Structure formats: C-alpha cells, structure tokens
Amino acid sequence: MKKIMVVDNHPVMQQFMSNLLGRKGHEVIAAADGLSAIQMLENLRPDIFFIDLIMPNISGDKLCRLLRRNPDHEQSFIVMLSAIAMEQEMHPENLDADMILAKGPFDRLTANVEFILEQIETDGGLQLRGQVMGRDELFERQISKELLASKQHSETTLQHMSEGLLELVGEGKIVYANPAAVSIMGRKEQDLLSCDFITLFRDADQPIVRKQLAEAARREKEIIFSEDLAINQRRVSVKIIPVPRENQSRSFLVMLHDITEQKQAEEELRYLSFHDSLTDLYNRAFFEEEMNRLARQRHLPLGIIVCDINGLKLINDTLGHQKGDELLRVAAGTLKAAFRSSDILARIGGDEFAVLLPGSEQKVVQDRIQRIAREIEKHNAANPDRHLSFSIGHAVRTSLPIDMQALFKEADDNMYKEKLKHLRTGSTRILQSLLQALKEKDYIREGHTQQLKFYVSKIAEKMGLSSEKSRNLQLLAQFHDLGKVGISDRILFKSETLTAEEYQEMKRHCEIGHRIALSSPDLAPIADLILKHHEWWNGRGYPLRLKGGEIPIECRILAVAEAYDIMTNQRPYQDSRSGQQAMEELRRAAGTQFDPAVVEIFIEEIKP
C-alpha cells in the first residue's frame, strides 16, 4: 500500500482519483490547491503525487519545484496531470515532475493510472520517467490554445515587471511571487510560497500591514500606503488590491515598489541641507532653526558658545585651502570631543563655530570651555606643526523671554574681544607652527641659518649698513624661505631638475612667505624683503623682475651669501663644491644674478 496525495482544484476530478486509488488499497490524501497541499504536507510523507498543472493558490509546476527542493519529498514519484497536453508541448523535466499524464476520458484515465501504479510497484517507475502518457487520446482545442497564448503573454509580462507582485489568499498567505518580488524580499521563491506575508516585515511594521490588509478586505478597494516599511533591509511602498473570487476565500494582489534609493536620496538631501559637508557638523540653517525652536520652548537655563579659529585665513593664503580645510576638520573633531551629544554644535561660517547648550547654567558652560582648552592642548602637544587655537565667547540666559539674536550677539561680541586680546600671541603661535613644519621638512637647518647669519653680518658690517638694516638682514637670513612651507615635498626634495610647471610652483614661495610675514607683527618689517629675495641684478629674477638698485640691499647681500652656502653644501639636486669653485662661480654670475660690488666684498671678507 502506498500513501498517495492528489492535488486538483476540480471536485469531480479529485473525487474520481480518490475513489480509483482507494479501491486499489492505497491511502489517499486530497488537496484542492497547491497552498492546501503544502500546509497538509507539514506532517505527511506521500510516496506518490498526482498534481494538476493549472490550479489557483500555487500552480502545479510551482508545487513540484517546492517538493523537489524539500529533502522529505525529493524521492517521491510525481505525476503531473494536464488537460492541455495536446495544446501545449510539455516535458516532465521542465516541470520538475517524473512524468505527465493527460486528462482524457475517465476509462482511458483509469487504465493509465492503473498502469502507472503497476510500473511504480515493479521498478519504482523507472520506465515511466520522462514520459507524456495519454496525449494521443486527446483532441486539440483552438480555444485552449488561445487561452494558453494569452496566459503565456501575461506570465512573461509579470516576470519582467520592475515592481514586485504577490498574490495573497486567506489571511495573507503568499501563493505567487514574481522575480522582482523575490529580489526585493531577498528569499528564494520556494521559501516565499505559502509563507505569511505579514511576517516578512520587521516587527514594528507588522501591525500596520495587518491593518491595511483588513481595511482592503473590508472596503474591497485598493489601498496604497508608503509608510517607512522595511523588508530585507529594503524600504518599500505597498499597494494592496482586493480581488473578487467566487466561492473562494478572499484574495489580494500586492504590488511592492522598492523605494530604498529614493529614500536614501531624500535622507541624503535632508542631511546635506542641515549639515556642513566639510566638517559633518550641523550648518547655519539648522543652527538658526534650533535657535528658533529653543526660543519657543522651556530649556532654561540656556547657554551659547561661539568659537572662531585663529589664523585660518593665514593658513588658506599661505599653505592653500586644502590645508585650511584640514584645520577646519581638526577643529570640528576637537569641539566634538568637548561637548555632549545633546549639545547642538554647528559650523556657522568660514572659520566660526557655535554651540547651543539647553539646560546649562553658567558653571556648565564654563566647564565646556575648559574642556575645549584641554582638547586643544592635547592636539597641539601631539601636532606641533599644526597649531590650533580658538577665540571663544559665551553667554547664558536663565529666564524668559529669550531674545536668541541678542544672546548670540552677546556671545559673538565676547568672542571678538577675546580675539583682539590674543591677536599677537595667536599670530606668534601660528608662525611657530609654520616654522616647525619647515624644520621637519629640513628647510630651516640650524647650521645653514647660523652660517647665513655669519656671512651677511660680515658683509653688512663691511658695507656700513644701519643697525635697522642689519637687524632686518639677520631676520631675513633666518626666515627668507618661510614660504616653502606651502610647497609640496615632492618638489622641495626632487633630486632631478624641476619641470617648467614645478619651477613655477617653487617660485610661489616668495609670495607665500610675504603673506605669512605680513600676518606677524615680528616679521612684518621684512615681508617686503622676503618677497624680493630672488630678484636678479639683471632683472631676470622673480617675482617682480626688479633690477640693479631697485632690489633692496638686504636681498642683494642674502642672494650672494645663500648661493655660496648652497654651493658648498650637499643639496638634493647637486653635489657640493669646494670654496674656491664656489667663489669662481660667484664671479661668473656677478653683473647678471648678483650685485658685483657685493660679490667683491664677499670674496674679500669670506676666505674659502
């Protein structure tokens, strides 16, 4: 005796097969469709299946595929029943069935079923595998061919839809899923069929979906809803369409539209509209919105801190905006480390930051300012070449009403007072950090600077320069190459000859150094000398192409002294020369690159 399942939605066919198989002594289990069969198979292991091809609620071919992928049924013998075997050419292997049996007249069908059972008993159905039995007993029907063509067209359309399409029955069991739906849900088709649609959503969304399904069934009208629903980490909008079905349980078509990228784009746009793209802090628009919100609500006491980076313009002008942007990011990170997540930190201008501190009295605000100072100290200790400093102002309100603009102005005014008080100190520290950067690049070598100072002092004394010019010359010897802090290491340390483009970039160091010096009260007197220290006697130098006496005497002296020091010391791009060779080269360049009078004095005073 075999355990046999018959799956057919036609009651007459189902009764006929059950009676026939029962008379042969077999145990028969009948199911009206694919969904019912799956639910019954949770506790059954049939030896043989007779499955109708065309059924509602999971078709026969889909049911066969599910069975073949289930280890409990992969060895069962599956007979696909078909009433359209004449109108449509079919192959069992394409349907995951062992064979196909045409639904012909009952007498012929009885004989074919009995023969199939005998063969299965004899050799396990080995001789039957791959056969289409009973096809020659049918007549081709034109109407069936037309219906099949229409069905094929519909199936092709559904298979290539960009939107996911599901069919649900009963309380939401899935009986059909097109490829787009399978992709959105991230599960195999066999895992979706007979699954409860609602359970595929995250827990928070399940009550929403259940409610909308019930509403669609009650109103018998399509419902579209696009709440923030998530399936398989995808965000979807859902359309539920009730489908009238005679003498059957309710059915729905569900359309899923993947809106993940749309939502991500919307969120990104919203994020960008309220965040500064460089520092990832809130921007001014968000900050002002929060100021308005806090002005309408009770968040007393309310504090505000305004911070301005000292020397950002100097960094931008001398080292370039890329270095300035790096400093802004460092400043943002330093401020983040000093504040709570509940504090509202924003970049509200080029070099200006502001923080709103709801529920913060004067003591709390002062504590935050001290934390900023500690974070800055920590950064500067670890990064002496990237000095960071803020000018900081604050204000606090403890009672209503709050004029937010007045509160901000008070903090801003206090910040500017602080900035003016520390202006000179701040410039000096920034200059020191730039010099540290040069030192690390090995362009302010202690021995080189001291040697230059010795050479220029000897010439200045011989030429009788004033004490002011002599002091400036000493400073120039030390800081003339300050602008090289803004030149790429790739160019500074290149061992081969510079290209024309690289040489033009190198020449910028005079102008960079000039801007740095102008920003420093200590170096401002030699800013003009730094700008002109590469001018040539014959007017072919740079950047201004001055000639002869138009070139400041300090620059003419430095040019000779530095040329001698460079020639007599190893450089990345040339070997060192002897003192005598260097003197001869100075004589050759006198009248073109160098002031002849300065060259003669240098040779006379400095013995190789």
**In the 3-class helix/strand/coil scheme, how is 367-383 assigned residue by residue?**
HHHHHHHHHHHHHHHHC
Residues 427, 446 share a domain: no
Residues 335, 210 share a domain: no
CATH number, domain of 597, equals 1.10.3210.10
Residue 456 CB contacts under 8 Å (≥ 6 apart), including other chains: 473, 474, 476, 477, 557, 558, 561
Residues 467, 418 share a domain: no
CATH number, domain of 126, equals 3.40.50.2300
Q: From CA 17, how far away is CA 35, in angstroms rounded?
A: 19
Local confidence band at 441 (pLDDT 50, 70, 90 cut-offs): low
**Does residue 150 belong to any structural domain of this protein?**
no
pTM score: 0.56
From the number of C-beta atoms within 10 Å of its C-beta (0-12, 13-18, 19+), residue 94 rates as: exposed
pLDDT for 319 equals: 74
pLDDT for 309 equals: 92
Q: Does the structure show a pLDDT above 70 at 424?
A: no
Taking residue 354's Cβ as centre, other Cβ atoms within 10 Å add up to: 27
Angle between helices 321-338 and 312-319 (to 10 degrees): 150
**Does residue 151 belong to any structural domain of this protein?**
no
Residues 101, 19 share a domain: yes
Contact between residue 370 and residue 313 where contact means Cβ atoms under 8 Å apart = no
Q: Which two tokens stand for residue 4?
A: 């046999």
**Does residue 269 belong to any structural domain of this protein?**
no
Percent of the chain with pLDDT over 70: 88
Q: pLDDT tens across 232-290, in order?
A: 888 888 888 888 766 556 788 889 988 888 888 888 888 889 999 999 999 999 999 99
Q: Does the structure show a pLDDT above 50 at 566?
A: yes
Residues 600, 463 share a domain: yes
Local confidence band at 532 (pLDDT 50, 70, 90 cut-offs): very high
Mean of pLDDT values over 73-97: 79
pLDDT for 149 equals: 52
Residues 255, 190 share a domain: yes
Domain that holds residue 515: 442-605
Q: From CA 297, how far away is CA 401, in angstroms rounded?
A: 10
Residues 256, 135 share a domain: no
Q: From CA 100, how far away is CA 379, in angstroms rounded?
A: 79
Q: Which residue has the higher pLDDT, 25 or 385?
A: 25
Q: pLDDT tens across 49-69, in order?
A: 999 888 888 888 888 988 888
Q: pLDDT tens across 484-501, in order?
A: 888 888 888 887 888 999
For 241-250, 253-262, 317-326, 342-351, which range has the lowest pLDDT when averaged over its residues? 241-250
Q: Which of 372, 379, 389, 376 has its CA nearest to residue 430?
A: 389
CATH number, domain of 396, equals 3.30.70.270
Could you give the angle at the alpha carbon of 461 between the alpha carbons of 457 and 467, nearest 5°?
Answer: 85
pLDDT for 338 equals: 94
Mean of pLDDT values over 500-526: 88
Residues 175, 108 share a domain: no
pLDDT for 449 equals: 82
**Does residue 155 belong to any structural domain of this protein?**
no
Q: Which two tokens stand for residue 369?
A: 């300012």
Cα 512 from chain centroid? 36
Could you give the angle at the alpha carbon of 488 between the alpha carbons of 478 and 279, nearest 5°?
Answer: 105
pLDDT for 215 equals: 85
**Does residue 422 belong to any structural domain of this protein?**
yes
Q: pLDDT tens across 357-413, in order?
A: 999 999 999 999 999 999 999 998 898 777 888 999 999 998 888 899 999 999 999
Q: From CA 284, how far away is CA 274, in angstroms rounded?
A: 8
**Does residue 561 belong to any structural domain of this protein?**
yes
**Does residue 337 belong to any structural domain of this protein?**
yes
Residues 310, 183 share a domain: no
pLDDT for 141 equals: 46
CATH number, domain of 195, equals 3.30.450.20
Local confidence band at 133 (pLDDT 50, 70, 90 cut-offs): confident
Q: Across the chain, what does the average pLDDT equal?
A: 85
Residues 249, 350 share a domain: no
pLDDT for 277 equals: 92
Structurally, how many domains does the chain consist of?
4
Residues 209, 76 share a domain: no
Residues 187, 90 share a domain: no
Q: Which residues of 61-84 are buried (b: 16+ CB within 10 A; e: fewer)?
A: bbbbbbbbeeeebeebbbbbbbbb
Mean of pLDDT values over 190-206: 87
Percent of the chain with pLDDT over 90: 38
Q: Which two tokens stand for residue 86?
A: 């004449």
pLDDT for 137 equals: 59
Local confidence band at 35 (pLDDT 50, 70, 90 cut-offs): confident
Q: Which of 264, 297, 321 is the last residue of a domain?
A: 264
Q: Which of 379, 412, 431 is the last residue of a domain?
A: 431
**Does residue 154 belong to any structural domain of this protein?**
no
Q: Which of 215, 236, 264 is the last residue of a domain?
A: 264
Mean of pLDDT values over 525-553: 95
From the number of C-beta atoms within 10 Å of its C-beta (0-12, 13-18, 19+), residue 525 rates as: middle
